[in-house]
Amino acid sequence: MQWNLDQLRLFVSVAERQSFSAAARQLNRAQSAVSSAIALLEADLGMLLFERSSGRQPRLTEAGVALLEDAREILRQCERLEGRALGLVRGEEARLRLAQDEAMPYQPVLDSLEALARQFPLLEVQLASGAQGDVARKLLERRADLGLLFHHERMPEALERQRLGTIEMVTVCGAGHPLAGSSYVDRRELARHRQLLMAPQDSHYPGGEQISPAVWRTDSFYAMAELLMRNLGWAWLPRHVVQYPTYQNQLVELRSDWTPPPLVVELVCRRDEALGPAARWLAECFAEHLQAIG
């Protein structure tokens, strides 16, 4: 077989955009060149990948659907190979830019950074914190080398993620909220009171289920805790946020008939940029400290 990686990239681009012309614009190619490359790929594979009808968008054949994910994985593997080669050429990194979700447990992060300073004393570290979405954005824009965030379904394709551990979620309200005196609350009782949820609505974070018809949304677990302290509703929060010293005696954990699954903490990096030794070491160290508090 004589097919090549460029043809696979064109195949994936046409399939995702359902258009030869759109793929050509995206890759800065002539449409005729894209069509010819796809035809050569089909000839090499011995099968049609697209159904072509005059005046209609190209549609994947059954064979095209079956091969699309394989093509994507080959391209991902190539990105990993190039990134790893680049990392080997660079050797130990001189600087590590870490971006983290602001609600990441602070003790494992601080303990890990303290250990990192001892292990790599000459390493420059830049630490950035942000609300949900900020971490992935910094990685995509190459303003961060390594990210710590909570798992959600819509992770950009260019990012590679690794599960590090989990954090328990609990049902919480303010100390002066009507629910605070209840020994047990069920879904019906929760639905009678305003619910605080993460924004946006399609964030796919654990604890994103709307139970109450009255909802307020915020992009920060800590902002949510501040609203809870003012008795503006109830919410599901990570346990370590509830235990933050500022909120001592201000928030009440509720016993309920349903609590969301734990937050999954993930290490995230760009697939086309291999992690250096300091970044890999920090990831392992953080995973150990995270498991210790779990």
What was the pLDDT predicted at 54?
62
Q: Map out the domains of the chain with their CATH numbers.
A: 5-88 (1.10.10.10), 92-164+263-293 (3.40.190.10), 169-254 (3.40.190.290)
Q: What confidence category does residue 175 fall into, taking pLDDT thresholds of 50, 70 and 90?
A: very high
- Mind listing the pLDDT tens digit for each residue in 119-170? 888 889 999 998 767 888 999 999 999 999 888 777 788 888 888 888 899 9
What value does the mean pLDDT take over residues 42-46?
Answer: 88
State the Cα–Cα distance between residues 136 and 250, nearest whole angstrom.
32
Write the secondary structure of 128-195 as one string of H (helix), E (strand) and C (coil): EEECCCHHHHHHHCCCCCEEEEECCCCCCCCEEEEEEEEECEEEEEECCCHHHHCCCECHHHHHCCCE
Residue 90, pLDDT > 70, answer: no
Q: Indicate the average pLDDT of the chain.
A: 86
CA distance 76 to 94: 27
Mapped onto helix, strand or coil, the DSSP state of residue 54 is: coil
Contact 278, 93 (CB under 8 A): yes
Rg (CA), the chain: 24
Neighbours of 158 (CB within 10 A): 14
List the alpha helices (DSSP H) in 174-276.
Answer: 187-191, 221-229, 239-242
Grade residue 105 by pLDDT with cuts at 50, 70 and 90: confident
pLDDT at 84 over 80: no
- Output the CA torsion 143→137→74→30 (10° steps): -90
Give me the pLDDT at residue 227, please.
Answer: 97
Closest among 216, 83, 204 to 136, alpha carbons compared:
204
Q: Give the tens place of pLDDT for each residue, 216-231.
A: 998 888 999 999 999 9
pLDDT of residue 230: 96
| Helices and strands in the chain, H and E counts | 10, 12
User: Higher pLDDT residue, 122 or 202?
Assistant: 122
Q: What's the confidence (pLDDT) of residue 125? A: 94
Spell out where 184-288 has E strands. Answer: 195-198, 215-218, 234-238, 251-254, 263-270
Instruction: Decide: 44 and 1 in contact? Cβ < 8 Å.
Output: yes
Phi, psi of 149, deg, nearest 5: -150, 175
Distance, in Å, from the CA atom of 189 to the CA atom of 3, rounded to the nearest integer, reads 62
